[in-house]
Amino acid sequence: MQKKRILCFGDSNTWGYDARTKDRFPEEIRWTGVMQEKLGSDYTVIEEGLCGRTTVFEDPLVDGLRGLTYLSPCLRSHGRLDVLILMLGTNDCKERFSATGQNIADGMKRLVCLAQELEVWEEAPKILVVAPAPIRKECESSFAAGEMGICSEKSEKLAKLYQECAKECGCHFFDAASCVQMNSVDYMHLDEEGHSVLGNRLAEELKERYGNHRSS
């Protein structure tokens, strides 16, 4: 029996940024590591997180953060795949991008459509769109305010818009806010408990939706 291959494509909350230490949570703390432990040895969880990554927006201050540019080589590098988890949008809410919630959801749709067209799948494309927990209002007066600007209200709109995107594209949706919220440090990253809860919850989601093992 071959292992199911799950690729997690995201930003600093997939990379595992710890706002308290400004470093990275250990592998076993990050939600991807928690999910791997929960799923067990029949699965391979591939972590592809990058701090600052957006869906489709080119950041004028930092090179290489446009998710759309990297998604194709990333998926082709790691194929063949069983499931792709897309969790992006927090960075798209930065004030400097001047994007609406709908703009951000349309960016997610472009990622989904691109992934569905690539010949990287073991079977039919299976994509889970995850709306990140909203940025809390306190972020706009925290030490992260200079980077993020006014962002929280826009972030709160993403779940509904992502759900509509997933339905339109024929893929699955999960709202991270159903089980976690952002930390009480910079208000835009998961804390250790959040990683644990999200990793366990997504493992349950994967088993429920894609649990049948493929044949060798």
Per-10-residue mean pLDDT, the chain, length 216:
94 98 97 98 97 98 98 97 98 98 98 98 97 98 96 97 98 98 98 98 95 54
Domain ranges in the chain? 4-210
Per-residue model confidence (pLDDT) at position 213:
53
Per-residue model confidence (pLDDT) at position 212:
59
Element (DSSP H or E) covering residue 130: strand 127-131
Q: What is the CATH number of domain 4-210?
A: 3.40.50.1110
Alpha-carbon gap, residue 193 to 5, rounded angstroms: 25
Query: Residue 104, CB half-sphere, CA atoms under 13 Å: how many?
Result: 30
Structure tokens at 79: 């194929």
Phi, psi of 2, deg, nearest 5: -80, 150
pLDDT tens digit sequence for 159-183: 999 999 999 999 999 999 999 999 9
Alpha-carbon gap, residue 140 to 122, rounded angstroms: 43
Omega prior to 80 cis, within 30 of 0: yes
Per-residue model confidence (pLDDT) at position 97:
98
Across the chain, what does the average pLDDT equal? 96
